[in-house]
């Protein structure tokens, strides 16, 4: 699966489960870490875990497995690393504290409005 297609699928999964404030930053021109960061928030540790679980489950059905998962036990910031796409699911307070959007401000904010059904 191409990086853009994977990113779009992840955004759709998060949106379908009512993730809040989903953002995508294209960072491929800035770093070799990944092509995209997908950033989303949940209202509670339970929702953060559920969002990460759903992404993992749905992509697993397509034969796509994360290379690494971090923060699963803390449940306030879970990272799913799919190499080309890194998914960050935060509780809002933790997201505000780390502010990845500011840290990666040189990246391109990707317009995902066409992918979102919650609006």
Q: What is the pLDDT along the chain (119 residues), one digit of tens a residue?
A: 899 999 999 999 999 999 999 999 999 999 999 999 999 999 999 999 999 999 999 999 999 999 999 998 887 999 999 999 999 999 999 999 999 999 999 999 999 999 998 55
How many Å is the Cα radius of gyration of the chain? 13
pLDDT of residue 118: 59
Domain spans of the chain, in order of start? 3-113
pLDDT of residue 75: 74
CB 15 within 8 A of CB 37: no
Indicate the CATH number of 3-113 among 2.60.40.1180, 3.30.460.10, 3.40.430.10, 1.10.10.10: 3.30.460.10
C-alpha dist (Å) from residue 119 to 16, 112, 115: 11, 11, 10
């Amino acid at each position: 699966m191409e990086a853009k297609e994977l990113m779009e699928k992840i955004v759709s999964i998060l949106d379908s489960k009512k993730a809040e404030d989903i953002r995508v930053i294209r960072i491929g021109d800035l770093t070799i870490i990944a092509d995209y960061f997908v950033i989303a928030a949940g209202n509670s540790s339970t929702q953060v875990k559920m969002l990460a679980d759903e992404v993992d489950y749905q992509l697993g059905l397509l034969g796509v497995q994360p290379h690494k998962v971090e923060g699963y036990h803390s449940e306030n910031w879970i990272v799913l690393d799919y190499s080309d796409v890194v998914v960050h699911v935060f509780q809002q307070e933790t997201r505000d504290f780390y502010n990845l959007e500011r840290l990666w401000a040189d990246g391109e904010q990707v317009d995902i409005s066409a992918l979102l059904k919650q609006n």
